[in-house]
Structure 1
Amino acid sequence: MKFKKSWLLLLSFVLMLGILAACSGGDDAGTEPEGEGTETEQPAEGPQKGGTVVGAMDTPPSGQFNPIFYEEAYEANILSFIYEGLLSQDENLNFTPGLAKEWSFNDDQTELTFKLEENVKWQDGEPFTADDVVFTYKLLASPGYIEAGGIRSYFAGNLVGYEEYSTGASQDFQGVVKVDDYTVTFKFAQPNVKALSDASFSIIPEHIFKDISIADMPAAPESREAGKIVGTGPFKFTEMVQGEQYVLEKNADYWKGEPYLDSVVWKVVDQAVILGLLETGEIDFVADPNGFQAADYETVAAMPNVEIIEQPDFGYQIMGMMVNHRAAGDKTLDPSKWTVNEDLKDQKVRQAIAYAIDRQAIIDGLLYGRGIVQNSPIATQFDAYDDTNPPQYEYSADEAKKLLDEAGYKDVDGDGFRENPDGEEWVLSLNYPLGNQIRERSAPIVEEYLEAVGINIDLRQPKEAAAYFEDLENNAQDWDLYLVGWSLDSTDPDPTGLWDAPAAYNYSRWNNTEADALLKEANTPPEAFDKAYRNEKLSEWQVKFGEDLPALILYAANSLWAHNTRLHGVDVLPYSFLNDTHLWYVTEE
């Protein structure tokens, strides 16, 4: 699985899931570079060895480079070169071999056994084995993982013994079992419709992390410092200047074959100057998570040395509404401890907010039409996406005002802003991060739309991404509305990782028992093995989400990626530019 913010942030903030989320290239037998030690000169018209390419990001990674703890798409850009999962995906979102070369289910679909590749080494030369797979999933299920900041326990949640082990009731975890050095079995508590998705998480090395406690792992040098981060992928993370530049050098012993490129460098560049650097060749590509801006499409298209890739994004930008607040200092995700946000508790208020914002106008004005209005948080690329039944919330200031009146929010003192039903001042805070210029520009537009229907908005000063997401995770008690972008998990349409009540990414702290029950039905065999049944339940959930509305999807922009024509071997996936990077090569033109 490629790194997406497995339902993760990746936070395109963001953010996602996140996100996603794990990475590995597809199987490219017959197209691999020649092995180490081969001196045969490459033909001039074919792949060339050597060279460096430079990619641009508009926001610096926060600095967490451990797959089980990272939160952002910016971090995923780096992790995608370093770590891999047992499985990858192809252009049709079908699962393909990764670190596992084959797999099989038992008769009742409760066990999934993988045969691992036997020639894989970690980047420090140690062998990759089944022990690493067991170790990774044991961490995801460990007591203290969520308290340490982990947000991907759902990858292990369906495994045998998860509940007992994660709560400390048992010291023995039998969910993932080593059969031999190159065979591992995933054991599920019941037949699992998401078994392959659950088993696709990136694997981390046991020999590196086994002596580090789960509480200390997020801050450990092995999770944060270039030169100490070890994966199985085609490039090693060798040096960085935090917030400015991140250098990845080829892993000459990569199990799929030595990469053609010598290195890949990520530079953090303000969006305002990215295109100039792309045109001069100082950067070679701009892609995930934000690409280049739609306003600049014609400018980029006119560059003779640049190729554009445009496709529907595997994610979107939302305005979340904090229905509940997590208790200050609470590190658990227990909905029973949450407190209701009195300013947004009324469903009609949230629906009024949706009607008040002209999303198509934002798409036309800021995205130059290169995007869509989306009313469901399931990616449009999945056939489970329902674009018909959920509420559509077409722009109507009159409908917004009507709903606010019905909810008792009226302008009592004549100042143009509505008071709450008790006649008290009613102000909603709107929070957003720096980094994504379109999102930054959308914030005051959203403020204008909401104030036009009488909602007093406190538009907060934007924060640097790292500080913003720390506040968002802690669910600051005085936050009401927040802007964030999600890069979605490509492995399965199930939105549990984002919107189930105890999900770490459920920053709105939405707690709807009917919606949670529908998600459970959509994932409970044997009925859920019937795709039509599952899609029906997911459709019902999408309707419930749209009615209760813990977040409004502002827009789903088209992905606009670009690369210098000297860069070859680029074979994008529906959700990522970073695919089979060991096959990238450059020609000097």
Structure 2
Amino acid sequence: MKKQSLQLIFIALISFGFILAACSREDEPIEEEVTGAGEDPTEIKEETVEEPTGEPQQGGTITAAMYSAPGGQFNPIFYEDAYENNILSFTHDFLVAQDENLEFTPELAHDWKFNEDQTEITYFLEEDVTWHDGEQFTADDVVFTFTSMADPEYINSGGLRTEFVNKLVGYEEYAAGEADELEGVQAEDDYTVTFTFKEPNVTALYNTSFPIIPEHVFSDIAVEDMAEHPASTDAGEVIGTGPFKLTEMQDGEQYILEKHEEYWKGEPYLDRIQWQVIDQEIMTGMLENGELDLVKDPGGVPKADIETVKQMEHITMFEQQDLGYQYLGFRHHRGPNDSVTDKSTWEPNEKVQDKELRQAIAHAINREGIIEGLLYGSGQVLNAPFPEASWAYDPEAVHQYEYSEDKANELLDNAGYKDTNDDGFRENPEGEEFVLNLDYPTGNKVREDAAPIIKDNLESVGLKVDLRHPRDASAHFVELEKNNTDWDMYLAGWGLASGDPDPDPLHGSESAYNYLRWDNEESDKLIQEAKQAPEAFDLEFREKKYAEWAALFSEELPEIPLYSENNVFAHNSSLHGITKKPHTIVDNSHEWWLEQ
């Protein structure tokens, strides 16, 4: 296994504190000791909890909190939100995982090898893995998963994960319906599968690390019908290879995961995990009363409650950098259909085309104030979507947008946005009424509270904002995928993949997650150059290219990164076996156990 090959070591180096809240999708956990009197209450430290001396105990149920309900899609190739992922991370397994240093490690594949020019990777699969329904896991399931994401109907059916297949040989032909099979993924035998890429691929392990779905469940279902099938949506019907299975749910309220006794790594210790959808404001009381055993992402412990939770003797709390950030997005183009990749139907949204307008908005928003007031100082301002802990972070490469009403007013004046009728709000350069719509979701309390602050900040420099009524998070992101809306600005969060800080998924003009509908030729060029072999096997080359891209991003500002925040998680001290990794705490959940 060439896990440590020089060509791939740089991928493992992404132990850059994947502070998704800081700008990239990878962060190292910050584990410290409890603060004493007079120290900064936002400086979270992991309490020292003495591990029990006895053996792990079998049985028990834990209750975990989610602040928003999952959208209801529990098929990995179609899921959309982090709340759905809270279920999927327990029910489905990947070919490879990542360790505390973000090096790739065996999972469903126990070994792998590359060919000499890095265009092929062959995986050797575990042979004793069964699905939740008892069927055997084989290489055919792997081929089926990736072939489904390349299907001609996948994108039209709401699929967004083409980044995992579009580098494979034969993808264009298969996705266009011109080929009967996807040449780039082939089963050599029942437990060997080979991926072949069009070019040497510096992110091959990441691109093939996707969770696998069962062929025997979905093989007779057309891809366009797969997302609506009960095996993708209904408790008791969702089938994975993971340590827990979704057996019951009260939609929007409660989701029950029961252990998969035949789990291939060993029978889980816990009997079940009960997810409850609760209001963030009652989380602290439930933790204190013993009604909750785990609070993790998204959201974690509310920053205002950190000091209170820290004093709970039965609770262990720890902090790790998030691998994501919150941003104010601009909808640059619209169109009559919802195809992200068909740019021929796009028409510019003239209201947000002016770069100086976007720069003025960046200066007008008091991002530092949001961090101090809503995050209690536990966050960072970003001017490009790479976190401070990332090897792609380069503060010297980007433009700095400090909070300054004077600078915002100057830019707006220069761009021709002036108040011509003395009503307190600026008209556009043509003298017409100018109103920017702002849409945002519920579920993330800080983001919800930031929305009216942003409105007030922008109106302080004369930009009129129509702050719409917030939608439930799942409905918000359904609307975000549509082209034919009147959205101008929106709030959302983005998490970068722990495997690589590649900005392509959100910012590539033809990427499935290009919610911005941003189309910039130079951006696309730099993103692709940063991954072009053989130069891209040199980490310094990639750093240089990403610095060039970050400079372009911070000049054009297709979106405004608002802040990244550190995640503060908490669990009952009687819950043991949690492994804290930069990108997750869910790995090896079959080893979680309750001291009873």
TM over 0.5: yes
Q: After superposition, give the CA deviation of every residue in 1:407-455 in whole Å (9 maximum; x if it has no partner).
A: 1111111111100010000000111011111111000000111011110
Q: Is 1:257 paired with 2:257?
A: no
| SS of residue matched to 1:219 | coil
Conserved? CA contact 2:336–2:345, under 8 Å:
no
**C-alpha separation between the residues in 2 aligned to 1:287 and 1:168?**
42
| SS of residue matched to 2:421 | coil
Partner of 1:90: 99
Instruction: Compute the displacement of 1:487 (Å).
Output: 2.4
Mapping of 1:156-305 within 5 angstroms? 156-305=165-314
Letter in 1 for 2:438: L
Partner of 1:519: 527
Instruction: Compute the displacement of 1:502 (Å).
Output: 1.3
Instruction: Compute the displacement of 1:329 (Å).
Output: 3.0
**C-alpha separation between the residues in 1 aligned to 2:567 and 2:505?**
23
Instruction: Compute the displacement of 1:86 (Å).
Output: 0.5
| SS of residue matched to 2:201 | coil
**C-alpha separation between the residues in 1 aligned to 2:344 and 2:125?**
42
Match of 2:154 among 145, 153, 160: 145
**C-alpha separation between the residues in 1 aligned to 2:212 and 2:387?**
25
TM-score (norm 2): 0.90
**C-alpha separation between the residues in 2 aligned to 1:378 and 1:141?**
29
Partner of 1:125: 134
**C-alpha separation between the residues in 2 aligned to 1:311 and 1:332?**
33
Conserved? CA contact 1:232–1:254, under 8 Å:
yes
Partner of 2:35: none
Partner of 1:352: 360
| SS of residue matched to 2:476 | helix
Q: How has the CA–CA distance of structure 1 residues 377 and 512 changed in structure 2, closer, same or farther, with 3 Å as cutoff?
A: same
Instruction: Compute the displacement of 1:333 (Å).
Output: 2.1
Partner of 1:443: 451
Instruction: Compute the displacement of 1:392 (Å).
Output: 1.8
Q: After superposition, give the CA deviation of every residue in 1:333-363 in whole Å (9 maximum; x if it has no partner).
A: 2223211111100011011100111111110
Match of 1:397 among 399, 402, 405: 405
Q: Is 1:318 paired with 2:322?
A: no
Q: After superposition, give the CA deviation of every residue in 1:540-585 in whole Å (9 maximum; x if it has no partner).
A: 1111111111111111011011111111111121122212110100
The alignment's C-alpha RMSD in Å is 1.7
**C-alpha separation between the residues in 1 aligned to 2:269 and 2:338?**
48
| SS of residue matched to 2:397 | coil
Match of 1:57 among 44, 51, 66: 66
| SS of residue matched to 1:200 | coil
Gapped regions of structure 1 (runs ≥ 5): 1-13, 21-42
Q: How has the CA–CA distance of structure 1 residues 18 and 360 changed in structure 2, closer, same or farther, with 3 Å as cutoff?
A: closer
Conserved? CA contact 1:288–1:577, under 8 Å:
no
Q: After superposition, give the CA deviation of every residue in 1:126-183 in whole Å (9 maximum; x if it has no partner).
A: 1111000111110111101000000001100110001111111222311111111111
Q: How has the CA–CA distance of structure 1 residues 111 and 514 changed in structure 2, closer, same or farther, with 3 Å as cutoff?
A: same
Q: After superposition, give the CA deviation of every residue in 1:294-343 in whole Å (9 maximum; x if it has no partner).
A: 11110111111111111211111111011112x13333522232111111
Conserved? CA contact 1:113–1:184, under 8 Å:
yes
Partner of 1:544: 552
Instruction: Compute the displacement of 1:118 (Å).
Output: 0.8
Partner of 1:491: 499
Conserved? CA contact 1:191–1:525, under 8 Å:
yes
Instruction: Compute the displacement of 1:476 (Å).
Output: 4.4
**C-alpha separation between the residues in 1 aligned to 2:424 and 2:541?**
49
For these two proteins, the number of residue pairs brought into alignment is 551
**C-alpha separation between the residues in 1 aligned to 2:389 and 2:437?**
33
**Stretch of structure 1 that moved more, 331-340 or 366-375:** 331-340
**C-alpha separation between the residues in 2 aligned to 1:222 and 1:442?**
38
**C-alpha separation between the residues in 1 aligned to 2:436 and 2:291?**
43
Conserved? CA contact 2:25–2:583, under 8 Å:
no
Letter in 2 for 1:224: T
Letter in 1 for 2:423: D
Partner of 2:44: none
Partner of 1:23: none
Q: Is 1:453 paired with 2:461?
A: yes
Q: Is 1:426 paired with 2:434?
A: yes
**C-alpha separation between the residues in 1 aligned to 2:537 and 2:208?**
17
Instruction: Compute the displacement of 1:46 (Å).
Output: 2.6
**C-alpha separation between the residues in 1 aligned to 2:237 and 2:104?**
30
Conserved? CA contact 2:128–2:264, under 8 Å:
yes
**Stretch of structure 1 that moved more, 198-207 or 462-471:** 462-471
**C-alpha separation between the residues in 1 aligned to 2:395 and 2:290?**
41
Q: How has the CA–CA distance of structure 1 residues 397 and 332 changed in structure 2, closer, same or farther, with 3 Å as cutoff?
A: closer
Conserved? CA contact 1:243–1:268, under 8 Å:
yes
**Stretch of structure 1 that moved more, 195-204 or 575-584:** 575-584
**C-alpha separation between the residues in 2 aligned to 1:263 and 1:186?**
36
| SS of residue matched to 2:352 | coil
| SS of residue matched to 2:146 | helix
**C-alpha separation between the residues in 1 aligned to 2:389 and 2:135?**
39
Instruction: Compute the displacement of 1:19 (Å).
Output: 8.4
**C-alpha separation between the residues in 1 aligned to 2:364 and 2:410?**
11
Partner of 2:46: none
Conserved? CA contact 2:458–2:465, under 8 Å:
yes
**C-alpha separation between the residues in 2 aligned to 1:136 and 1:458?**
43
Conserved? CA contact 2:337–2:484, under 8 Å:
no
Conserved? CA contact 1:83–1:202, under 8 Å:
yes
Q: After superposition, give the CA deviation of every residue in 1:470-515 in whole Å (9 maximum; x if it has no partner).
A: 1111134311110011222111111111110011211110000000
Instruction: Compute the displacement of 1:388 (Å).
Output: 2.5
Instruction: Compute the displacement of 1:389 (Å).
Output: 1.0
Q: How has the CA–CA distance of structure 1 residues 120 and 379 changed in structure 2, closer, same or farther, with 3 Å as cutoff?
A: farther
Partner of 2:124: 115
| SS of residue matched to 1:435 | coil
**C-alpha separation between the residues in 2 aligned to 1:433 and 1:391?**
29
Partner of 1:386: 394
Letter in 2 for 1:174: E
Instruction: Compute the displacement of 1:386 (Å).
Output: 2.2
Partner of 1:46: 55
| SS of residue matched to 2:481 | helix
TM-score (norm 1): 0.91
Q: Is 1:580 paired with 2:596?
A: no
Instruction: Compute the displacement of 1:111 (Å).
Output: 0.7
**C-alpha separation between the residues in 2 aligned to 1:131 and 1:105?**
20
**Stretch of structure 1 that moved more, 382-391 or 480-489:** 382-391
| SS of residue matched to 2:223 | coil
**C-alpha separation between the residues in 1 aligned to 2:72 and 2:463?**
37
Letter in 1 for 2:246: F
Conserved? CA contact 2:340–2:511, under 8 Å:
no
Q: Is 1:413 paired with 2:430?
A: no
Conserved? CA contact 1:328–1:474, under 8 Å:
no
Partner of 1:37: none
Instruction: Compute the displacement of 1:219 (Å).
Output: 0.5
Q: Is 1:505 paired with 2:489?
A: no
Conserved? CA contact 2:24–2:323, under 8 Å:
no
Letter in 1 for 2:495: S
**C-alpha separation between the residues in 2 aligned to 1:105 and 1:44?**
43
Partner of 2:47: none
**C-alpha separation between the residues in 1 aligned to 2:24 and 2:414?**
37
Instruction: Compute the displacement of 1:93 (Å).
Output: 1.2
Q: How has the CA–CA distance of structure 1 residues 475 and 386 changed in structure 2, closer, same or farther, with 3 Å as cutoff?
A: farther
